[in-house]
A = this chain, B = another copy of it.
Amino acid sequence: MSTLSSPRITETPTAITQIGRLERVTLGERVHAELRELLMSGELAPGQKMSLRSVAETLGMSIMPVREAVARLVSDQSLEVLPNRAVRVPLMSRARFRELTSVRLAVEGFAAEEAARNRSASDLVAMQRFEEAFLDQARSPDPQADQAVRANKELHFAVYRATGLPTLVGIIEGLWLKIGPVLNFDLKISPDRLRTGGAVEQHRRLVAAVSAGDGATARKALTDDIEGAATFIESTGRLLD
């Protein structure tokens, strides 16, 4: 793959080699991204266990990259390793769920407000695209939970990215990693929340307010969205303690 058609060893960099230079993505980085996606989209249930070796074998590599990725996720408490050395998705108590929800209301609410002040035209395009994608699933007679989860996530993060504060986006990603397993695994169990919940309405208000530059309303729409989902989760009684 490297120098098949290269007449000389030291040649002028081609477009392909340039791409390789831009960012050599490490294996551990790829595993990290993979596990993040699984957690955020609720494909891993709270309490689900895994082992470094089994994951490594599944992905066809040694345990080293898996080890690094898991260590990073354990570091920010998206995963946990028990005293017995078992790695699992943390269980969620009612108290912890409420704590995370409180922080989300403050942080994501601030983000919505900032997004309304800073959004660019391309931000609005992205938001509208994912709002529509979510709407399609919510209205569908046969809604695909994973598609809805994905659209919901993309819509929210389109708003958050519009703040122009990448650090803030990173913080919110950390929050979603922790709450995703509960929020979205539950959604896959009871997908009727797509219809009964007010998500569609709050998304409409959110996008409209951000577009209009109305920060206060944007914050209110977002916090209503979060609280709506939180109320539903608490009502299911699936939380511990």
Residues of A within 8 A of B (CB): 21, 23-24, 28, 32, 67-68, 71-72, 75-77, 83, 99-100, 102-103, 106-107, 110, 164-168, 170-171, 174-175, 178
Contacts and interface: CB of A to CB of B under 8 A. Distances in A.
Contact of A167 (B83, B167, B178): B178
A107 B168 CA distance: 9
Contacts of A67: 68
A76 B78 CA distance: 13
Given A72-B72, A75-B75, A99-B166, 17 more contacts: A21-B83, A23-B83, A24-B83, A32-B75, A68-B68, A68-B71, A71-B71, A72-B75, A99-B164, A99-B165, A99-B167, A100-B167, A103-B165, A103-B167, A103-B171, A107-B110, A110-B110
Given A75-B32, A107-B107, A171 B168 contact: no
A28 to B, nearest CB: 7
Q: Kindly report how many copies of this chain are found in the complex they form together.
A: 2
Contact of A168 (B72, B77, B103): B103
A98 B107 CA distance: 18
Contacts of A21: 83
Nearest to A100: B167
Contacts of A71: 28, 68, 71-72
Contacts of A106: 107, 110, 168
A104 B67 CA distance: 32
Given A71-B72, A72-B75, A83-B21, A174 B171 contact: yes
The 8 A-B residue pairs with the shortest CB-CB distance, nearest first, are A72-B75, A106-B110, A103-B167, A68-B71, A103-B168, A171-B171, A99-B165, A72-B72
